[in-house]
Chain A
Amino acid sequence: MAPVRAGRWLVAVPMAALAIATIYPLVFTANVAMKTRHEYVLDRFSPAEALRWDAFATAWGSADMGRYLTNSLIVVTGSVALLLLFGSMAGFALSQLRFRGSRALFLGCLAALFIPFQVIMVPLARTMGQTGLIDTYPGLILAYVAQFLPFTVFLMTSYYSGIPAEIIDAARIDGNSTYGVYGRIMLPLGRPALLSVGILNALFCWNDVLIALLMMPSAEHRTLMVGVTSLRGQYSADIPTFAGGVLIAAVPVLVLYLFFQRQIASGVTAGSTKG
């Protein structure tokens, strides 16, 4: 596999340019956040004169981002915990236990995978309103669980179906009930898949804005991403602070990406090789 050398470099140049184009928007934003308003107005591109963190501090303090961050953390933690619990339970049952209707239930989950949120958001918002769940943490958590559960069940089912039945039989002979098999065998064995699906779901919930806008109308319940959308209006004359607020919201994702890039990629591609 050795293409002509010159050809390889010919391709490498635009690819490197694209890589720079992928990173530059973030670098630009970080640079803007370090500038004073005066510096920004004078020259957008010059490197900031000094490493200044004022913009971040202002965005954090006056834009209430601390509260938004707390809201996001509560909702993401709750959603991911429930998604992993429900997803692994259903994945175990659908892949390893045989029972009446299991095939139909799996197909039902698969069908739900292809119902986008936009199609059901109106009736869902009404139902949430009627049950008093709108504008509450449990309401938003439930909406996220409903949104990402079909994907989670699908992934856990396909992961668990790769576990040999002998392991489960052996555990039963040792006197485990079905629940015992789930708790002592399937949960520990499923750790790689649970980690991957968990991180992916955390990203989905963290990044979402549409569901959060719909389910959490009041200002004090804003998630971080909804908070970011309101920054622009708040700091339309103070671009460095705006940039600082945007970056604060991006940092947790950047950290997650640096540590778990492999797990994220494997979750994204899981459906492609088997589907």
Chain B
Amino acid sequence: MLEKETGSPPPSAGTAVVGPAEATAPVAAHRQARGPRRGRARRRPLAERLAPYVLVAPAVLVIAGLRLYPLALGVNFSFTGDGDRNGQAVGWDNYAILFDDPLFTESMRNVGLLVLLLPVAVLIPGLLATFIYLRVPGHRVYRSVYFFPAVLSPVIIGAIFNLLLAFDGPANALLGAVGLGPVDWLGDPGVAIYAVVAVHVWATFGMALVVFLAGFATLDASLIDAARVDGASLPRVIRHVIVPGLSRTIQFVVVTTMIGMLTSMFGLIYVMTGGGPEGSTYLPEYYIWFQQGQMSRPALASAASTVLFCVMLAVGLLQLAILRRSGRED
């Protein structure tokens, strides 16, 4: 309690902590009788007591005002009407319209597809990270190369792949060389969504790879060495040593990859397909933007936002539950 003598109490002695020591201090007791504020805090100048609040104020105001409040506002807004019925309460009408809209149901189907493809998007960087960790020849270079597309804007990646996946572009030329194709990558409604998702995975697997490598750095290398000395094959080492050791990293990658798929493909869709052909590459985020910006139906867009939020919440909680359970079994 050196600070008492110096008259400059530590931050930990803020107003929230009033221990028995203060009650016995005569000065503090005197102050306590005079004012509503108790204890040592009185001895600190007002500016010092307010300092923590001043420091967090800008961040709290911005986050509360421009993120948490809009969430409530949006949910509320989704129960009002658009156009003629602007501002009127319309109950669940927007949600009914939403689920009648083939574009929206298509976008939800695509969300389902993304969830199904999620294991692939996690497995690829996971395996590559394992090989890099096991020092495959050239492992030093791979990390830098694979990570690079992850820092490029989806807009730039989309523009580049517009060239590569053009009907007369390199992708089809490559297929033609082995006697296949051509495929209308971005023009065929049955193909376009897979093309866009594949480009997204190509662009972002480096991000997950780097996270996996950071996880490997925390892994006990002697465990793997011991398993190898005992003659365990690589698949067995992965199954019994690496996966259990990285459960927390895997959890992180699964959740962030899912969030990435649901919320950061706008740029790709906007540049590569514009939601087409025939609305086959719509995702909820694109639908929200389309209804808000192009169709001037913000209340309907808000309803779609609310649905997206619920989907993300549900998927996130489900994944956590599954991963927890499988983690316990190991």
Residues of A within 8 A of B (CB): 1-3, 7-9, 11-12, 15-16, 18-19, 21-23, 25-26, 28-29, 32, 44-45, 85-87, 89-90, 92-94, 96-100, 102, 105, 108-109, 111-112, 114-127, 142-143, 145-147, 149-150, 153, 165, 168-169, 172-173, 175, 177-179, 182, 203, 206-210, 213-214, 225, 228-229, 231-232, 239, 242-243, 246, 249-250, 253, 256-257, 261, 264-265, 268-269, 271-273, 275
| Least distance between B319 CB and chain A CB atoms (Å) | 13
B321 contacts which chain A residues (CB < 8 A)?
Answer: none
Minimum Cβ distance to chain A for residue B157 (Å): 8
Task: Point out the residues of chain A lying under 8 angstroms from B288, CB to CB.
Answer: 118, 121-122
Q: Any chain A CB within 8 A of the CB of B24?
A: no
Residues of B within 8 A of A87 (CB): 59
Contact between chains at B11 and A120 (CB < 8 Å): no
Q: How large is the interface on B (under 10, 10 to 19, 20 to 34, 35 or more residues)?
A: 35 or more
Contact B14 A99 (CB under 8 A): yes
Tally A-B pairs: CB < 8 A: 312
Chain A residues with Cβ below 8 Å from B292 are 121-122, 125, 214
Q: Is B184 an interface residue (CB 8 A)?
A: no
Cβ of B52 and Cβ of A28 under 8 Å apart? no
Point out the residues of chain B lying under 8 angstroms from A94, CB to CB: 56
Given contacts A122-B301, A177-B47, contact A243 B163 (CB under 8 A): yes
Q: Knowing A28-B164, A116-B262 touch, does A269 contact B58 (C-beta < 8 A)?
A: no
Q: In the complex, what residues of A have CB within 8 A of residue B234's CB? A: 3, 7
Closest Cβ–Cβ distance, residue A213 to chain B (whole Å): 7
Q: Which residues of B contact A165 (CB under 8 A)?
A: 10, 12
Judging by beta carbons under 8 Å apart, are A261 and B137 in contact?
no
CB-CB under 8 A for A126 and B298, given A3-B234, A121-B292: yes
Known contacts being A26-B160, A123-B77, A153-B59, is A99 close to B137, with CB within 8 Å? no
Q: Known A268-B210, A273-B214; judge A209-B154 contact (CB<8 A).
A: yes
State the B residues within 8 Å of A (CB): 2-3, 6, 8, 10-17, 47-48, 51-53, 55-56, 58-60, 62-68, 70-71, 73-74, 77, 128, 131, 134-138, 141-142, 144-156, 159-164, 168-170, 173, 202, 206-207, 210-211, 213-215, 218, 221, 224-225, 228, 234, 248-249, 252-253, 259, 262-263, 266-267, 270-271, 284-285, 288-289, 292-293, 298, 301-302, 305-306, 308-309, 312, 316
- Give A214 to B3 CA distance when docked, in angstroms: 52
Complex CA–CA separation, A7 to B312 (angstroms): 40
Q: Which residues of A contact B161 (CB under 8 A)?
A: 25
19 additional A-B residue pairs with CB within 8 Å, beyond A98-B14, A109-B59, A114-B312: A1-B228, A2-B228, A3-B234, A19-B142, A22-B202, A23-B148, A28-B170, A44-B173, A97-B11, A114-B316, A146-B63, A147-B67, A153-B59, A169-B3, A169-B10, A172-B3, A209-B267, A210-B285, A231-B159
Contact (A214, B267) CB under 8 Å given A15-B131, A119-B309, A143-B66: no
Q: A117-B263, A119-B305, A178-B11 are in contact. Are A109 and B63 (CB under 8 A)?
A: yes
A-B residue pairs in contact (CB < 8 Å), sample of 29: A3-B228, A8-B137, A12-B137, A15-B136, A15-B138, A19-B145, A22-B202, A26-B160, A32-B163, A45-B173, A89-B55, A89-B59, A90-B55, A98-B11, A102-B52, A108-B60, A109-B59, A116-B263, A119-B309, A143-B66, A177-B51, A178-B48, A210-B266, A210-B289, A249-B153, A264-B151, A265-B214, A272-B214, A273-B249
